[in-house]
């Protein structure tokens, strides 16, 4: 070492530290890189992304290369610092101790912590660049890597640890995908994010959660006079109507309103049989059917409207294809006037909201940003009756979650109108006032 100039030795030391930092930074960046983003770049033709994915499919070999290189480089750096210290200050115990401390400090700061922090901060950018150097290095060091991995694989088999592609393949659950969408930030437009989140919700809700309740279903009764049927058809806002005879649980079929209106222009006298001849068979849906499953059923059966029935075959409501689509993409303009829509509500300037008792809890939570329980009753009326365990009188109030619920009107053994008053403090346990 005496024949080598001091400046060359110091330059060699800096080079070794730089190489050690490179391998440490590359290792951290590869392990932190987003594989989904890399696959996207590879599909768009990025050779660097394809090379990075190729390395990530051989994680054991990449780690072997990095650790072998780092170990050798750090050992050489330690020996070089020791040689420089001895040749400069002499072979003393204190000199060796200071040399060891110095090289440890240099390696920890400049070859370990700093490069790994940088690698974790910019994983894709560094992984894409370093992969172009690591791949040829793997080819050169293939014999050494194979020899070392012989002992490594033997040790892992002894410990019953599985390795390979199947062991580290990344599989995302729906909850993890939902978290990715929520954390998408500005990368995903707000409308697209809302649609994606609604798609995940379709797996967890049933048609009962989005149906039009039986009390709000517009249906045609064939047991009434023909003149009444004509009047209802001319004032109807829907393209299809469920038709029953006498009692709504006796569904006779589905009537296409346009076809029925065409009959009104005929000169011959109309009878109930004329309308009955236009009916198509009803499509019944069990109330616990999942929304996403029902969407598939609608597609397979070429249906757009279904009658929801409970376990006893009684009609609970109806659901349409449009209801499911609105659940995914949000509301859109329909033939029903905005003033007539029961779900058009929101907080007023005083933080209050007037609702019908039949309003569904899911709609309330979605529109008013509340967290009312939805695992039991589906409507506000049902929730209040369950909490109070009695049919209350008007002007009874209770605190629930983030609001005060005031019962405004009770009619026919049901809560007709309710007023919600928003609170600033969240109260978890309901209490009767």
Q: Which domains does the chain have, with CATH numbers?
A: 6-168 (no CATH), 202-332 (3.10.580.10), 341-432 (3.30.465.10)
Residue with tokens 């949000």: 330
Query: What pLDDT sits at residue 165?
Result: 52
Give me the tens of pLDDT residue by residue for the chain, a chain 433 residues long. 556 787 888 898 899 999 999 999 999 999 888 887 888 889 988 899 999 999 888 888 888 889 899 889 989 988 888 888 888 877 778 878 888 888 889 889 988 899 999 999 999 899 999 999 998 988 888 888 888 888 888 888 888 776 655 445 556 677 777 777 777 666 677 777 777 877 877 778 888 888 888 888 889 998 888 888 888 888 888 888 999 988 889 999 999 988 888 887 776 788 888 888 889 999 999 988 988 889 999 999 888 999 999 888 899 999 999 888 888 887 765 544 443 444 567 888 888 888 888 888 888 888 888 888 888 888 888 888 888 888 888 888 888 878 888 888 888 788 889 998 888 644 444 444 4
What Å distances lie between residue 238 and 199, 269, 272, CA to CA?
Answer: 26, 25, 20
Q: Which residues pair with 427 in a beta bridge?
A: 401
Round to whole Å and give the CA distance between 390 and 395.
14
pLDDT at position 59, please? 85
Whether pTM > 0.75 for this model: the answer is no
Q: How far apart are CA 120 and CA 113, in angstroms?
A: 11
Cα–Cα–Cα angle for 277, 282, 283, rounded to 5 degrees:
155
CA distance 140 to 223: 89
Q: Residues 150, 75: contact at Cβ < 8 Å?
A: no
Which pLDDT value is given to residue 415?
87
Measured torsion, CA atoms of residues 352, 208, 325, 279, in degrees rounded to the nearest 10: -120
Please give the structure tokens belonging to residue 7. Answer: 């400046």
Could you tell me the two tokens for 417? 């109108």
Q: Between β-strands 352-356 and 220-221, what pairing exists: parallel, antiparallel or unpaired?
A: unpaired
Give the pLDDT of residue 172.
67
C-alpha count within 13 angstroms, C-beta hemisphere, residue 30? 30
């Amino acid at each position: 070492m005496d024949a080598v100039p001091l400046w060359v030795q110091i330059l060699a030391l800096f080079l070794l530290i730089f190489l050690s930092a490179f391998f440490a930074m590359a290792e951290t960046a590869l392990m932190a890189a987003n594989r989904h983003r890399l696959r996207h770049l590879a599909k768009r033709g990025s050779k660097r992304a394809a090379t990075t994915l190729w390395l990530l499919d051989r994680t054991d070999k990449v780690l072997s290369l990095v650790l072998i290189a780092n170990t050798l480089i750090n050992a050489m750096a330690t020996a070089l610092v020791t040689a420089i210290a001895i040749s400069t200050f002499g072979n003393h115990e204190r000199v060796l101790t200071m040399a060891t401390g110095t090289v440890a400090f240099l390696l920890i700061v400049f070859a370990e912590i700093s490069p790994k922090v940088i690698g974790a901060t910019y994983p894709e950018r560094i992984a894409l660049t370093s992969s172009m150097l690591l791949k040829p290095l793997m080819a050169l060091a293939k014999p050494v890597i194979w020899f070392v991995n012989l002992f490594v694989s033997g040790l892992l088999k002894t410990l019953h640890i599985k390795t390979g592609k199947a062991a580290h393949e990344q599989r995302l659950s729906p909850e993890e995908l939902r978290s990715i969408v929520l954390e998408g930030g500005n990368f995903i437009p707000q409308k697209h994010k809302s649609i994606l989140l609604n798609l995940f919700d379709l797996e967890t809700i049933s048609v009962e959660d989005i149906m039009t309740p039986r009390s709000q279903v517009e249906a045609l009764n064939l047991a009434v006079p023909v003149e009444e049927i004509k009047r209802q058809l001319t004032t109807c806002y829907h393209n299809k109507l469920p038709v029953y005879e006498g009692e709504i649980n006796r569904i006779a079929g589905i009537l296409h309103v346009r076809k029925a209106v065409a009959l009104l222009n005929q000169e011959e006298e109309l009878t109930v049989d004329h309308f009955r001849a236009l009916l198509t068979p009803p499509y019944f849906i069990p109330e616990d059917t999942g929304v996403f499953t029902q969407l598939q059923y609608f597609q397979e059966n070429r249906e757009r409207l279904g009658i929801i029935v409970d376990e006893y075959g009684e009609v609970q409501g109806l659901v349409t294809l449009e209801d499911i689509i609105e659940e995914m993409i949000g509301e859109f303009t329909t033939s029903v006037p905005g003033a007539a829509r029961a779900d058009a509500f929101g907080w007023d300037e005083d933080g209050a909201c007037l609702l019908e008792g039949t309003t569904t809890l899911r709609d309330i939570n979605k529109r008013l940003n509340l967290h009312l329980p939805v695992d039991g009753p589906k409507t506000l009326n049902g929730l209040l009756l369950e909490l109070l365990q009695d049919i209350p009188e008007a002007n009874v109030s209770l605190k629930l979650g983030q609001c005060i619920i005031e019962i405004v009107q009770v009619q026919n053994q049901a809560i007709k109108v309710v007023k919600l008053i928003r609170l600033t403090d969240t109260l978890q346990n309901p209490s009767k006032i």
